[in-house]
A and B are shown apart, each in its own frame.
Chain A
Amino acid sequence: MFKQKTTEQIKAATRKTESGSHAFYNNPKYRAVIYQTLLIAGLAYFFYTIIGNTLGNLEAAGIKSGFGFLGNAAGYDVLMSLIPFESTDSYLRVFIVGFLNTILVSILGIVLATLLGFIFGVMYFSRNWLIKKVSVVYVETFRNIPLLLQILFWYSAVLATLPGVRDSLSLGEAIFLNVRGLFIPKLVGQDGSTLVYVAIAIAIVAIFVMKSWAKKRQDETGQQFPLLYASLGIFFGLPLLATLVAGIPFVVDYPVLQGFGFRGGITVIPELMALTIALSVYTGAFIAEAVRAGIQAVPHGQTEAARSIGLKEGKIMSLIIVPQAMRVIVPLLNSEYQSLVKNSTLAAAIAYPDLFNVFVGTALNQTGQAIETIFMAIIVYFAVNMFISFVMNRFNRNVELVGR
């Protein structure tokens, strides 16, 4: 009796399920849409509550909120700015000044780190014992010391021990190096300097045209063209010619010791130098390892084959090995570049006025609006790194193995 009833129940249940399986919410197509909608609605509610809660709590605690402060005058000065900046300018402008300084140190760091990384990465494969060991020592030293320590080392132990302003190291009384930084002459364009800028642009275009022409010729006839020398010749020759034609339309603005320091010329502050050196040397060590990994990923047979057709060692590297190694190197480079940008926030440890220092540091403190400033900084670093990712992924597609 009992057993019978159970069977009945099971049957009933089965019937229910069967009829249920035809319901629209069990249809895989609709089900997916429903769950996704629910998830999005849930997330939206989550953020809505969090934001509402935050604003409510801030108000309850008497803390000002909102982005209105961005229009107010900042009231403080910034050490270095790529655009004109005065203390009467707004917090928004401080934000831009800091952003540009972050971008500047990032670009310098990425270029130098890549150079260092490729040089030391390739040096590892040298047959010369000394050169190989130099590469190993470089990588092992700078990869294993915390970056913050390296920044402080360059800033406090190296650059801060340079001579004072009045005892500057000087090169031909034109370039000066002291504890305040590096002072170099600046070329100031006069009337007619436009011609020179045009010449530079033409030279760059000409080099690209020449490159594709040389490649085409080599493909057709097998004849090689001394591309490097020709490029250098055009790049320097053409603007030089234009300068002479225009009657040298430049004056040199030399740094001159006056009052408390040097005026005129270009000043490279020691904070920028220390941060750039530390970031590029540190990241360069990682890139060197990436380059080594990439090169080692190319089968040795490639080298042997290249040797057997009589290519020189240098050519083997540049024509056979590196292009194939790039497949491995580029994705690694992507993350190294992103790390470099994020690591640039360590500028706060020395006085380099990057976004983190002037905005998240001083602006946050002067306005007290922690959430807004940190939110803006997060968005910036996120966006910059997304951009790097985008560019590197495009580049990656170019070096990827083409499937046939």
Chain B
Amino acid sequence: MIKISSLMAGGLAVGLTLGAQAATLDDVKKRGVLSCGVSTGLAGFSQKDEKGNWSGLDVDVCRAVAAAVLGDASKVQYKPLTAKERFTALQSGEIDMLSRNTTWTHTRDTSLGLNFAGTIYYDGTGFMVSKSLGVKSAKELDGANACIQAGTSTELAISDYFRENNIKYKPVTFDTSDQTRSGFESGRCDFLTSDQSQLYALRIGLKNPSGAVVLPEVISKEPLGPVVRQGDDQWFNIVKWSLNAMIEGEEQGVTSANAADKAKNGKPGNKRLLGTEGELGKNLGLNSDWALQVIKQVGNYSESFERNVGSGSQLKISRGLNALWKDGGILYSPAMR
């Protein structure tokens, strides 16, 4: 199995070849392409169409970084990874950054040699059940079988939840999210548990989407965000601020359509963000128009959200927690100055 051998090779590579991690920025510039780890296929976050083009919210983070660094959002090489493979791939230097619906947890941030560069989507573990079961709450799921993806924080969250409520379940842990869906469809499990955003995405892929419901309970905090290797602060800053540029873009009302115009005629804040004033780009080691390229080519956060998971997509997820802080959500970019 290719997956297993790459896991092994990755594991060894982490230990043997990982010397001082030199500047990722230089590597990416020299290569002329950004190597970005994504999921093996998850509607709305990272999925590949028939022509081989990737799209999704997570993919947009890769594209934003490529636009900021290389000036071209299309210069990304996507590496599809399972949940089990993702950290090893990043640690061993196989990818420059990971943008794969990955939950920011304390353990991952502190013991894996990785840094989380922000949050692109505030999520939480939820449940999807078949309508015919007539289940209204997750607490009624005593004795049920659960389809879960192996190596995820969901595995930990659901174990805690069932223990706390003193009910039992059987975990059937698959390698990919597609397998969890087919397990759910074949009736191997009574419910599928994952991040809620994924549940909506997986539900669309069912043969009969209306036959399944997502339960209202959200049992954990799952902030999803891009990840980079620890020890390369410049690269960490670039990824962090590429993401912030998208959020700040929405806050300032800069869109892909008006970005070029705002750079010339906008307010001082617009000009600072888009690089016609100040030295924000230079401080990151990038061109002064880095954020302009991000917003022009990828769009601001709102555009990306609506296109991939919101009203412009099949998922129709509402902004909820992921609205800007001034609109009742918790999305907030540090000051762009």
Contact = CB atoms under 8 A, between A and B. Distances in A.
Interface of A: 50, 53-54, 57-58, 60-64, 75-79, 87-88, 148, 156, 160-161, 164-165, 178-180, 258-261, 263, 270-271, 345-346, 348-351, 353, 356-357, 360-362, 364-368, 370-371, 374
B15 A365 contact: no
Nearest to A65: B15
Which residue, A50, A61, A63, A161, has most C-beta atoms of chain B within 10 A? A61
B310 interface: no
B183 interface: yes
A79 to B, nearest CB: 6
5 contacts: A58-B18, A62-B112, A77-B171, A78-B171, A79-B171
Contact of B14 (A58, A75, A178): A58
B175 A348 contact: yes
A362 B148 CA distance: 11
Contacts of B175: 348-349, 361
A263 B170 CA distance: 12
Interface residues of B, number: 57
B253 interface: no
A374 B11 contact: yes
Nearest to B21: A61
A346 B4 CA distance: 9
Nearest to A164: B187
A367 B62 CA distance: 26
For the complex of A and B, list the 8 residue pairs with the smallest distance between their C-beta atoms, beginning with the closest: A365-B151, A370-B11, A63-B113, A54-B15, A368-B112, A62-B113, A160-B186, A64-B111
Contacts, number: 160
Given A61-B91, A362-B150, A365-B150, A260 B143 contact: yes
Contact of A180 (B8, B20, B145, B160): B145
Interface of B: 1, 3-4, 7-8, 10-12, 14-16, 18-21, 83-84, 87-88, 91, 107-108, 111-114, 133, 141-145, 150-152, 155-156, 159-160, 163, 169-175, 179, 182-183, 186-188, 190, 229-231
B159 A87 contact: yes
Contact of A351 (B83, B84, B172): B172
Contacts of B87: 365, 368
Contacts of B173: 79, 351, 353, 357, 361-362
Binding site of A, secondary structure by majority: helix, strand, loop or mixed? helix
A258 B18 CA distance: 53
A75 B230 contact: no
A7 B174 CA distance: 80
Contact of A60 (B144, B156, B231): B231
Given A61-B231, A62-B230, A365-B83, A75 B160 contact: yes
A61 B141 CA distance: 42
A374 B7 CA distance: 9
Contacts of A345: 4
A156 B113 CA distance: 38
A302 to B, nearest CB: 44
A334 B127 CA distance: 47
Interface SS of chain B: mixed
A238 to B, nearest CB: 38
Contacts of A78: 171
A58 B15 contact: yes
A59 to B, nearest CB: 9
Contacts of A346: 1
B14 A361 contact: no
Nearest to B169: A77
Contacts of A349: 1, 175
A311 B139 CA distance: 70
B187 A156 contact: no
Contacts of B190: 260-261
A77 B12 CA distance: 28
A77 B159 contact: yes
Nearest to A179: B187
Contact of B88 (A75, A179, A370): A370
Given A54-B15, A58-B113, A78-B171, 9 more contacts: A57-B16, A58-B15, A77-B171, A87-B160, A88-B163, A261-B145, A348-B3, A365-B152, A370-B10
A179 B111 contact: no
B111 A368 contact: yes
B229 A61 contact: yes
A350 to B, nearest CB: 8
A366 B7 CA distance: 14
Contacts of B188: 160, 179-180, 270
Contacts of A60: 19-20, 231
A261 B163 contact: no
B143 A261 contact: yes
Given A63-B91, A368-B87, A351 B15 contact: no
A300 to B, nearest CB: 44
A157 to B, nearest CB: 11
A60 B17 CA distance: 12
A79 B111 contact: no
Contacts of A350: 174
Contacts of A271: 172
Contacts of A62: 112-114, 230-231
Nearest to A55: B15
B183 A259 contact: no
